[in-house]
Amino acid sequence: MTKRCRGNRGFSMIEMMLVVAIIGILSAIAIPTLQKYIARSRSSEAAGTMSKLWSGAVAYYEADHADSTGAVKPKQFPGTGGTVTSEWPCCGNPGGRCLANDSTYQIDDSTHPWVALNFNIPMPHIYRPWFYAMGPTLQLAKVQLYGDVDCDGIQSEFGFTGDIGGLDNMPRRSGTYSINDTE
């Protein structure tokens, strides 16, 4: 009767080195792609915020408003045609995000149209919104969002313009533009 020795058998050093090399190559390919997808998903926050701003602007335009004497104002977007104050840059906050329910959105005066737009951001966010009503009759609006996705000092910008026009004199908006959207 022959006796067999059943020793512990494992992987050789060369097999282990091959596995580590393959994992390294796959990581080198996958990590940049993953980072790109994460940046794109963050830019979807911008689309949602712009949509919310435009909905508020259209609702304001569609509603009737009166001046202090009770005279009905012509239909227009909210604001005075000047620059609108927004939040401060957010990279100093936890997670590099702007704080939820910032007090800026609770100010109700002509230079802060946020209350008129029924606008607030109830969650921590990356992008800071700006809204401008322009033109002699405030029938042109510009929506812009700025944010530093990874707090490296490079800003992403998204925006569009909207106006009152067409045969039916209804609100309409342009396509969205972006600069450094996946910075």
Q: Write the CA distances from 151 to 75, 148, 182, integer angstroms.
A: 40, 5, 12
pLDDT at 58: 92
Q: Would you say residue 39 lies in a domain? A: no
Q: Would you say residue 24 lies in a domain? A: no
Mean pLDDT over residues 103-122, rounded? 86
Q: Would you say residue 150 lies in a domain? A: yes
pLDDT at 2: 60
Distance CA 103, CA 59 (A): 22
pLDDT at 83: 59
Q: Would you say residue 41 lies in a domain? A: no
Q: Using DSSP, state whether 35 is helix, strand or coil.
A: helix
Q: Would you say residue 13 lies in a domain? A: no
Q: Would you say residue 9 lies in a domain? A: no
Task: Please tell me the total count of domains within the chain.
Answer: 1
The CA dihedral of 38, 41, 46, 49, to the nearest 10 degrees, is: -130
pTM of the model: 0.76
If we measure between CA atoms, which residue out of 65, 86, 67, 83 comes closest to residue 75?
A: 65
Q: Would you say residue 2 lies in a domain? A: no
Q: Would you say residue 56 lies in a domain? A: yes
Domain range for 105 is 46-179
| H-helix segments, the chain | 13-62
pLDDT-wise least confident of 3-12, 126-135, 145-154: 3-12
Residue 146: pLDDT over 70: yes
